[in-house]
């Protein structure tokens, strides 16, 4: 596509880090990644990762979409298939504590992310009926996203930020407008033993040419922690066909950084550090998954 060609010619810029492909690479045969982190925009945090490696280009390009999706399942495009059983394919199993987040929704906000009216509906139901109603809420959110592109809203407000637009505003190429909406379900844990697993419905778009590939990922629903989650990844192959540059970016809008109480604000520094460290590990794991899928 013309967009990709122009981006490759001009260099991929990500504020405040600069041109990603020009960032320091390995000094020798060992691959050494570069990491960046920016927390200057309140609750919106941006991480980046660049690694330059040796390898045949084609298998890396082919592996990129699956590597970014991770262990996602489902791939729903048809509104007739918007059912909990399909949407939650990548979410199971739920452990007892995770189910309690839904079944013990007795106030607003709940531990799971809902709008005020949804949380109040759960509160009005007997605990035995809450899981079924929560499932209907997830189905409706998925249906609205697939049909109209309506972004997730939590609490009393509309989404605080659209992750793809936010990353595009930071300099990354925007997602192709003609891409089809596909929702995958996935579960991951940024910090096993320290954080609860995050369940998401994600939209993944990809485009590829003979010497480059790009993937965009964003959440259509995250069950807690994040009011927005967006990813971008690109591979550019060198002219020799034997070297390539893998560029990744992650943005999150972290809800705990929006709390205004004194004790909450005192903890914001540690929270940012935790997201920095765990986000870096998340991007590292994505890269490792990519390398394995590419046979590198």
Per-residue pLDDT 10s for the chain (296 aa) are: 333 433 444 589 999 999 998 887 654 445 689 999 999 998 999 999 999 998 899 999 999 999 999 999 988 999 888 999 999 999 999 999 999 999 999 888 888 999 889 999 999 999 999 999 999 999 999 999 999 988 888 876 666 689 999 999 999 999 987 778 899 999 998 877 778 899 999 999 999 999 999 999 999 999 988 999 999 999 999 888 788 999 999 999 988 788 776 555 667 878 899 999 999 999 999 999 999 999 97
Beta-bridge partner residues of 252: 45, 229
Q: Which residues contact 282 (CB under 8 A, 6 or more apart)?
A: 188, 190, 250
Cα atoms in the Cβ-side hemisphere of radius 13 Å centred on 92: 8
- How many whole angstroms separate alpha carbon 252 and alpha carbon 45? 5
Contacts 24+ apart (CB under 8 A), 119-124: none
- The helix-helix angle for 96-103 and 127-148 (nearest 10°) equals 90
pTM: 0.91
Q: Are strands 183-188 and 198-208 parallel, antiparallel or unpaired?
A: antiparallel
């Amino acid at each position: 596509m013309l967009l990709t060609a122009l981006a490759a010619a001009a260099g991929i810029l990500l504020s405040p880090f600069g041109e990603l492909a020009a960032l320091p690479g390995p000094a020798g045969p060992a691959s050494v990644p570069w990491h960046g982190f920016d927390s200057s925009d309140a609750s919106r945090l941006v991480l980046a990762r660049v690694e330059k490696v040796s390898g045949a280009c084609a298998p890396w390009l082919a592996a990129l979409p699956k590597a970014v999706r991770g262990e996602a399942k489902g791939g729903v495009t048809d509104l007739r298939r918007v059912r909990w059983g399909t949407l939650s394919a990548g979410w199971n199993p739920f452990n007892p504590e995770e189910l309690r987040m839904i079944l013990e929704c007795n106030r607003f906000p709940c531990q799971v992310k809902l709008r005020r009216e949804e949380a109040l509906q759960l509160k009005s139901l007997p605990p035995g009926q809450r899981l079924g109603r929560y499932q209907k809420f997830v189905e409706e959110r998925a249906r609205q996203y697939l049909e109209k592109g309506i972004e997730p809203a939590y609490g009393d407000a509309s989404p605080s930020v659209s992750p793809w637009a936010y990353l595009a505003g930071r300099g990354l190429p925007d997602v192709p407008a003609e891409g089809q909406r596909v929702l995958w379900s996935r579960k991951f844990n940024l910090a096993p033993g320290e954080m609860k697993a995050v369940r998401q419905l994600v939209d993944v778009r990809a485009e590829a040419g003979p010497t480059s590939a790009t993937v965009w990922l964003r959440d259509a629903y995250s069950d807690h922690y994040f009011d927005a989650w967006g990813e971008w990844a690109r591979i550019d192959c060198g002219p020799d066909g034997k070297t390539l540059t893998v560029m990744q970016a992650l943005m999150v809008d972290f809800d705990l950084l929006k709390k205004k109480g004194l004790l909450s604000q005192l903890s914001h520094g540690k929270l940012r550090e935790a997201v920095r460290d765990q986000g870096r590990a998340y991007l590292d794991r994505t890269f490792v998954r990519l390398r394995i899928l590419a046979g590198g």
